[in-house]
Amino acid sequence: MKIKDVRTTLLTGPCTNDPFLREARKVRSAAFIEILTESGPIGIGETYIGYSFPEVVPTVVEFFKPILVGQTVDDIPELWRRMYRCGNSGCRVGLGVAVINGIEAALWDLKGKLLDQPVHALLGGAKHERLPCYATGGPANYPKEKLARKMDHYFSLGFRGLKVGAGSFSAESGWFVPADTKEAADFEAEKVAFMRSHAGPDAWLMLDAHMDNSPGATWSLETALAVARAVEPFNLVFFEELLPYTDPWGYAELARSTTVPVAGGEFLTATYEWRVFINQDSFDIGQPDASFTGGLGEFLTVAQLLEQRGRKIATHAWGAGGSLMQNVHAGFAASNTRILEVPPDYAGLHTDVLDGAFIMKDGHVLPPDRPGLGIVLTDEIKRRYPFKPGSGEFISVPGKILKE
């Protein structure tokens, strides 16, 4: 069955139904890529670039489309190699290969539908009967009484674990992220002590410093290490993004110097970039994203390289419903998956696209059993969430300020 067309659909909808996350971010954009065939079946994939730079995705897809039209999905890795090779000067890492990721995901979705198999079966089969997951909670909503309500909200949804950001956020005062070393260490230790006391000893707790997209100043290695050591007593599953991704050497030193598992990698693309971090053990837990890293195949290569170094992975999945399911399938296909990230209390660009395909029980995700990725993208969904230019999320700087 041959491919006859490749098209991009950009959408904008509510970021989340989570009342705590919604304080910080009210809308989200998404970019879906559809592979159309001569006989009717359609493959659907998502690129996480659609969350930040949605306007660029259609142009990049059009660049790669001639490579795919007239081809079949018999050899998806070869189609990936052709796209990657053709875009060599602009997609070894970064935006280009992240868009290829969405195209490749759509190819796997199509192949799964044609063979009546879930994508993880095509990637070598599920390596886990179930996988633990956590609610990715965005900011630490303050005051602490609100943070406690936020935690209780996630536990009420069936999660046994959650992650919040460094510093704090309030609708009245905005973001607060201490930059001074002692102040930052004291603030995070006090916050995590409160969270552990409220959640109890068995809850899976995580922190995300967001130092690659911090609203304030980024931490130095000295500050990051002081903060990590300050929260060592509280049994975190991991501490994420303590440094910018321009400092793999600092990450390696950090991972050697604290007992808290250091996590990162959500904004790294392609094996080429990941190897810089993997080869020097920058992360105890790598966080590839099967809608951004470069493809489901690249995700698994990264996971294997980490496993060879004795490291685990924890998926990153803050895109829409396609991104979530791509990471679920890839997470089940990787033998060293530690935990899955799940947007809690999600809104229409998840619920409508997933259409019941995502199943969580007792704080764990079950292997998907629908053909392909298990996502849908109907004309009604497209009408319901029309794209609004400028709805992507970015870091505000003078001259370009994020509005919502």
pLDDT at 315: 98
Nearest to 272 by CA among 292, 291, 293, 258: 293
Architecture of the structural domain at 3-116+378-384:
2-Layer Sandwich (3.30)
pLDDT at 216: 67
Burial category of 396 from C-beta neighbours within 10 Å (exposed 0-12, middle 13-18, buried 19 and up): exposed
pLDDT at 398: 87
- The whole-angstrom separation of Cα 89 and Cα 278 is 23
Q: Where are the domains of the chain?
A: 3-116+378-384, 121-365
Identify any residues that bridge with 133 across adjacent strands, giving them in sequence order.
Answer: 340
Residue spans of the chain under pLDDT 50:
none
pLDDT at 179: 87
CATH topology of domain 121-365: TIM Barrel (3.20.20)
Q: Which residues contact 202 (CB under 8 A, 6 or more apart)?
A: 160
Nearest to 320 by CA among 24, 49, 122, 59: 49
pLDDT at 396: 84
Give the torsion sign (CA, 92, 122, 303, 265).
Answer: positive
Between the alpha carbon of residue 331 and those of residues 93, 128, 261, 366, the distances in Å are 22, 9, 19, 11
Could you report the per-residue pLDDT of 297-319, keeping only the tens digit for each?
A: 999 999 999 999 999 999 999 99
Could you report the per-residue pLDDT of 360-402, keeping only the tens digit for each?
A: 999 999 999 999 999 999 999 999 999 999 999 988 888 988 8
pLDDT at 112: 98
> Which pTM value belongs to this model?
0.97
Side-chain half-sphere CA neighbours of 176 within 13 A: 15
